[in-house]
Structure 1
Amino acid sequence: MSRSTTHTFTCPCGEVFSSSIYEYVNVAKDAGLRYTVLAGLLNVSVCPNCGGKAAISTPFIYSDPAHNLLAYVHPRGDAPQEARLLILENLRSAYENVEALLVARDGADGAGDHIATLSPRQAQDLPPLQVVFGLDQLSELISGVLTPEERLGKLALSTQSRNDAERSQFYSIARKLASEMDCSVEVESLPDEYVVWLYGSRRQIGALMRELAPGG
Structure 2
Amino acid sequence: MSRSTTQTFTCPCGQVFTGQAYEYVNVADDAHLRYVVLAGLINVSTCPNCGRRAAVSIPFVYSDPAYNLLAYVHPRADAPEDARLLILEKLRDVYMDASKLQHEQQDKNGESNGNNGGRVVSLSASEAKDMPPLKVVFGMDQLGELINNELSQEDRLGRLALSTQSRSEAERGQFHDITRKLATEMGCCIEVEDLPDEYTVWLYGSRRQVGALMRELATRG
TM-score by length of 1: 0.91
Residues of 2 paired with 1:22 and 1:76: CA distance?
A: 16
**1:105 corresponds to which of 99, 108, 111:** 111
Equivalent residue number for residue 180 of structure 1? 185
Counterparts of 1:1-216 in structure 2, within 5 Å, are 1-100=1-100, 103=105, 104-105=110-111, 116-119=122-125, 121-214=126-219
Letter in 1 for 2:23: E
Give the stretch that moved more between structures: 175-184 or 126-135: 175-184
Give the stretch that moved more between structures: 10-19 or 72-81: 10-19
Shift of 1:116: 3.0
Q: Work out the number of aligned pairs and report it.
A: 208
Residues of 1 paired with 2:77 and 2:112: CA distance?
A: 43
TM-score by length of 2: 0.89
SS in 1 for 2:135: strand
Provide structure 2 residue ranges, at least 5 long, that are not aligned to the other structure.
114-120
Identity of aligned pairs, percent?
67
Residues 157-178 of structure 1 deviation map (CA, whole Å, 9 limit, x = unaligned): 0000011111111111111111
Residues of 2 paired with 1:77 and 1:86: CA distance?
A: 15
SS in 2 for 1:42: coil
Shift of 1:214: 4.8
Residues 125-174 of structure 1 deviation map (CA, whole Å, 9 limit, x = unaligned): 21000000000000000011011111000000000001111111111111
Residues of 2 paired with 1:132 and 1:122: CA distance?
A: 22
Letter in 1 for 2:52: G
RMSD: 1.7
